[in-house]
């Protein structure tokens, strides 16, 4: 078993890479991949850079070049649900692309032929996350995460994403990982800690809370690696 641990930004993977043993770094596809072990489990860690295209590239490389057979994504998100406050954790049960629009041809938002609006994450990894959260006494929200190539800092856009996709949080990479892993039949999991509320204060809050929320998510992901059965 080789587990891919992916983020989008350096802040999202640094708390993971700093805990690995026997790290080797490979430069590939204009990016760095950190191979190492965590408490005896083989992992490959990378941040993709922001957005759907870079995330698609990195997820594909983690699977096709490095041979990872599970992928866990860790990072931050903007809250949609009013239940979610800064630093809270949400796991995706499904992911959709809020900026995918061929409605001109009569399709729903987020849908293209032969695709699906919402791609589900692996049930076993979700159960593992819930067991880890219970053992640590952490509250974990589960819901839909909406992905798009937009930093959302606007209440109207956020409300539209909520009503259109029933989404609880939004970010810029998760659905790309979902498309890749779904196509390649790799069990995957997406965890996000809230950095902002996707409203007019989002830019300010994101800068203030990126590092602390990214660490909350990364620490939880490492506990998941420990809990995953070999
Ligand atoms: N990731 C964290 N906050 C976000 C926001 N407001 N929009 C898009 N991605 C985010």
What CATH number should be reported for the domain holding residue 154? Answer: 3.40.50.1580
Give 76 Cα–ligand 1 centroid separation in angstroms: 7
| Number of compact structural domains in the chain | 1
**How much is the pLDDT for 230?**
72
Strands 2-7 and 21-28: unpaired
What domain range is 204 assigned to? 2-227
Catalytic site residue 196?
yes
Q: Which of 12, 88, 168, 173 is catalytic?
A: 12
**How much is the pLDDT for 7?**
99
Q: Which atom of ligand 1 is nearest to the CA of 148?
A: 8
SS3 31: strand
The residue contributing the CA closest to ligand 1 atom 3 is 78
Q: Residues 6 or more apart from 192 whose CB is under 8 A from it?
A: 74, 75, 76, 77, 89, 90, 92, 145, 169, 171, 174, 217
Q: Is 152 touching ligand 1 by the criterion CB < 6 Å?
A: yes
The values of phi and psi at residue 106, to 5°, are 85, 5
**How much is the pLDDT for 106?**
98
Q: Which atom of ligand 1 is nearest to the CA of 210?
A: 2
Question: Going along the chain, which residue ranges are E strands?
Answer: 2-7, 21-28, 31-38, 41-47, 70-79, 89-97, 119-120, 140-147, 167-171, 188-196
SS3 71: strand
Rounded-to-integer distance, Cα 153 and Cα 214, Å: 19
- Tokens 């995953």 found at: 228
Which residues is 193 bridged to in the sheet? 76, 89
Catalytic site residue 12?
yes
Give 109 Cα–ligand 1 centroid separation in angstroms: 20
Q: What is the pLDDT along the chain (230 residues), one digit of tens a residue?
A: 999 999 999 999 999 999 999 999 999 999 999 999 999 999 999 999 999 999 999 999 999 999 999 999 999 999 999 999 999 999 999 999 999 999 999 999 999 999 999 999 999 999 999 999 999 999 999 999 999 999 999 999 999 999 999 999 999 999 999 999 999 999 999 999 999 999 999 999 999 999 999 999 999 999 999 999 87
Instruction: Report if pTM > 0.85.
Output: yes
Are residues 96 and 165 in contact, defined by beta-carbon separation less than 8 angstroms?
yes
**How much is the pLDDT for 3?**
98
The residue contributing the CA closest to ligand 1 atom 4 is 78
């Amino acid at each position: 078993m080789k587990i891919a641990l992916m983020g989008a930004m350096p802040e999202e993977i640094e708390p993971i890479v700093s805990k690995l043993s026997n790290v080797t770094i490979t430069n590939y596809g204009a990016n760095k991949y950190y191979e190492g072990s965590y408490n005896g489990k083989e992992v490959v860690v990378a941040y993709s850079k922001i957005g759907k295209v870079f995330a698609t590239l990195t997820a594909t490389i983690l699977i096709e070049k490095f041979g990872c057979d599970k992928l866990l994504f860790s990072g931050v998100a903007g809250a949609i649900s009013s239940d979610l406050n800064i630093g809270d954790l949400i796991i995706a049960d499904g992911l959709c692309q809020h900026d995918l629009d061929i409605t001109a041809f009569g399709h729903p938002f987020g849908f293209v032929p032969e695709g699906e609006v919402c791609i589900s994450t692996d049930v076993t990894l979700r159960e593992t996350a819930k067991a880890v959260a219970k053992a640590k006494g952490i509250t974990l929200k589960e819901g839909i995460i909406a992905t798009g190539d937009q930093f959302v800092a606007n209440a109207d856009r956020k409300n539209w994403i909520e009503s259109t996709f029933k989404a609880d949080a939004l970010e810029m990479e998760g659905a790309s990982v979902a498309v890749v892993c779904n196509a390649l039949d790799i069990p995957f999991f997406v965890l996000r800690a809230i950095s902002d509320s996707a409203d007019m204060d989002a830019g300010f809050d994101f800068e203030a809370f990126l590092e602390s929320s990214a660490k909350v998510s990364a620490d939880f992901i490492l506990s998941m690696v420990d809990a995953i059965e070999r």
